[in-house]
A and B are shown apart, each in its own frame.
Chain A
């Protein structure tokens, strides 16, 4: 069989097209190389970190895993309910963030909060559900065994310590040291941003909107041009 010049050209064009399509398919699975604005640079992880599955306990004998984070933005905070100051203050700030977002054209409907108690000795999934929902109905409370908590906290890169009660005080009055940072997990279940304290609701809401727009731009669908 013999190809003419036109036939060779068509074959070449076809090869190029197939290669380009393959490259596009490969590329669309990755983030585009878009620079974040300076306003959100400090909050973003240098590279979004895919979380591996974990299992925690939530109210109603339910479990909570990575699947429950997919398709939504999740604000994540580690704490405990016997915490009088930083935990309720931080959760109240997050509740306010949700209400600020609700007043924008792109509300927080696809956004949830996750409060993970690192104090399973005193916090039950049921008490956590009630505690978290007080700040916003979109907040989930969860906890787990030490092994389960370690599986998630190590991925996020946070530590916690159950301390001894002060001398002469009841055995159940121990303080817990925990992370003070609010983490943001993207709808693909990747650790995407972090907000260290002090937290200001206006600032977190503003930054989140910019991060969400940046995320859409970076992972947006590409067709002919990329």
Chain B
């Protein structure tokens, strides 16, 4: 009797002691209460052993909440654990580049850590401290998908620290596409199947059909598609997403934006022109003002239930699936539509076969300044930011903007349990993203050459002129190509080719 009681007592206290250990961190830091601290080189436990008291860390990140809120939150946690003084500044997305580049180019380093878009790597890698091997070899880094390691590295060296994943994918209203009544109606009036569009032409047809009437009975008109069309620094990515299917031909390796050998811009070839023609037609099935939609407007539009489709970053999907959203669990995810034909630049003709190509769009990333005096602290912070416990908690909070980028992220249960997603939708989401990341062989990598901002700015100007009807698609893209040639002349053809080759190698040598 006594022995049993004693054993029970001892057993109980050992168990309590054990769980008390795992709960110690989640008690102090409610953010990780679901998982507790997960052991690793950068876990809460490990960080608490470091002492950075008396040292200051300065971080430039995006506005709250996307990326901004997790940065500030983890900064607070880091400061508590290590005694460091962490300062975070928030900057709107469009200004992150200049806010980092002005100091870099004048030889200063007011920020130890900068957040930005991974496509800037070519412009700013000279100012960045490569990620030390110690961090690259950590288990949490090895879990990152290959695409994201590639997008943050240059020629084998990792310059940027992956903390987020981004991609473009198709989002659609399940309550319409999977709805038997709507399917019947669509078939009756058009003779075609209502399904997740497989090509951009199909996308356009379905969007046009559902444009301008109230198909979900909420008293408001709905429209076909919400797209990023405003002439800002993101819309060129929406254009490229539409273009890759028409222009990325697996039979013609050696460059997508340029022909690698001649450095001739490809942006005005018939593949791109076809995509731009589609896009100009899209201006007919976007909501009023859609031609001036920024990513924020697109998120509000699709996420607020105004359109049938959307296809750029995660934000719209996340907004739609938030608790309190009227269309929660009514949206689905699918790969970007392909095209029924793809341009072959070697033969100068269209190959009339189905083609699909994921556009590995750049996304949020972070980096440590070379001139910073706090490399150790900075990398520890970034590692802590993306440690298993924090990461698991972050992806469960939609507004944080932290999206899956690790192989272990693509587990539907995470979304079902933590965010209340419908299991079917969670599976569809995970599968779509994982396939794009790991399984596709016909990928396009973002343009990451010197002067990338100038190239994309030219694309934005040209395509928006076409959208506004100031020029025809061919004229607009010819203008862009001409501007690209001038930029190449300024950068230097050889220098550009060298840089572009890095990306092409990734596209062509898959694995």
Decide whether A and B are members of one complex.
no
Interface residues, chain B, CB within 8 Å of chain A? Answer: none
Interface residues of A (CB under 8 A from B): none
